[in-house]
Structure 1
Amino acid sequence: MKHNKLSISLLKTEDAEALLAFERVNRKYFSSTLPDRGDDYFHLENITNIIASIEEEQKRDLCYMYTVRNSDEEIVGRVNLFSVVRGDMQSAELGYRIGEKHNRKGYGTAAAALAIREAFETHGLHRLYASTDPANIGSQIVLIKNRFQFTGRTPEYIQINEKWYDSIHFSLLRKDWKK
């Protein structure tokens, strides 16, 4: 699926080398706002095995993990639909990360828009939700530009680098997205 100069595609084992390069370049940047993945993650064999597991989870409708690529086919980010719940809920959590050198170009907003379309049109979900650090204004802007509504705040929601951080929460219903 494409949006201007960006496209998203489901993560697959063929992406392992390019994804590993992307994650290595951005490790320090990402670990400033997200829990670090640990040294073991950053080996080709390990990341290939992780992607193979994700492919199985995607087949079982548990998650949908996408690479975000620019017009040169370079991975510039990731956008994910995870914690998929079917039955009475029909929901998933939206997550995204854009590489440091690609920030402030609208890529997060565009990638989220593509994943939201996939969530509602391809996967038939009813609701998406997302959480972010209250200090991460860029992430909040991504959500608000994509019609998410603020739903609340949880104190000491996540521990990063041995410190607890609050989280603010947003959600988007399919009917509100279509407006």
Structure 2
Amino acid sequence: MEIELVPLSLDYAEQLLKFELENRSFFEEMVPGRGDHYYKREKFLTFLTELVVEYEKGEGQYYLILSGSNTILGRINLFNVKEEPFFTADMGYRIGKKYVRNGLASTSVEMIMTLLKEKYEIMEINAKTTCHNHGSKRILEKNGFVLREVEIGGAKLKDETYDFLTYSWSNL
């Protein structure tokens, strides 16, 4: 499947809210939930606007993963961005339930890393996942990320506690 990374914009607000609502339960199986307030339309638009402003200021890089027909398949985000003394960021991604196991997450991570390598000579990118998210661990490792830290009991999902794993990619 052909995909493209498109910078987050308010043009996709309604489609993105629908995507997030449709996939909420699925996402919350692997990562901590965002709370009910996130999914209320007005709050969602406020959060989305804040991300767009962060993007414009260079404080974050937020992308939608789109199919050729402009269907939102997922998201990939760089947050906590700092450019001095070298580029650092935390990365997160999510693929909609209907689209998992098609290589979209791996391809998206590869695409974002290619963009970053073209723009920044020296960088460090970190990504967290839970210990039971085997797919995400494989995706990160396939893209050159190395396990750096284990936060025992760092993630609580639906009355279960899991370890949070921090992976890093660096050319320091």
User: What TM-score do the two structures reach when normalised by structure 2?
Assistant: 0.90
In the alignment, which residue of structure 2 is the partner of 1:19?
16
- Matching residue's letter, 2:61: Y
Q: Are 2:65 and 2:75, in contact at CA under 8 Å, matched by a contact in 1? A: yes
1:37 equivalenced with 2:34 (yes/no) = yes
Q: Are 1:95 and 1:130, in contact at CA under 8 Å, matched by a contact in 2? A: yes
Inter-partner Cα distance in structure 2 for 1:145 and 1:50:
32
Superposition RMSD in Å: 1.9
**Cα shift readout 1:36-92 (whole Å, capped 9, x = no counterpart):** 222222233222221111111112221111110112210010101111123235210
**Cα shift readout 1:119-174 (whole Å, capped 9, x = no counterpart):** 33246661111111111110011111211122232212233335432122211124
Inter-partner Cα distance in structure 1 for 2:40 and 2:120:
32
Match among 74, 83, 92 for residue 80 of structure 2: 83
Unpaired segments ≥5 residues, structure 2: none
User: What TM-score do the two structures reach when normalised by structure 1?
Assistant: 0.87
Q: How many residues align?
A: 172
Match among 157, 162, 167 for residue 165 of structure 1: 162
Q: Secondary structure at the match of 1:172?
A: strand
Q: Secondary structure at the match of 1:33?
A: coil
Percent identity between matched residues is: 27
- Matching residue's letter, 1:95: G
- Matching residue's letter, 1:119: L
- Matching residue's letter, 1:121: E
Q: Shift of the alpha carbon at 1:93?
A: 0.9
In the alignment, which residue of structure 2 is the partner of 1:130?
127
Match among 38, 48, 58 for residue 55 of structure 2: 58
- Matching residue's letter, 2:37: D
Q: Are 1:92 and 1:125, in contact at CA under 8 Å, matched by a contact in 2? A: no
Q: Secondary structure at the match of 2:18?
A: helix
Q: Secondary structure at the match of 1:20?
A: helix
- Matching residue's letter, 2:107: A
Q: Secondary structure at the match of 2:30?
A: coil
Q: Secondary structure at the match of 1:111?
A: helix
Q: Secondary structure at the match of 1:50?
A: helix
Deviates most, 19-28 or 37-46? 37-46
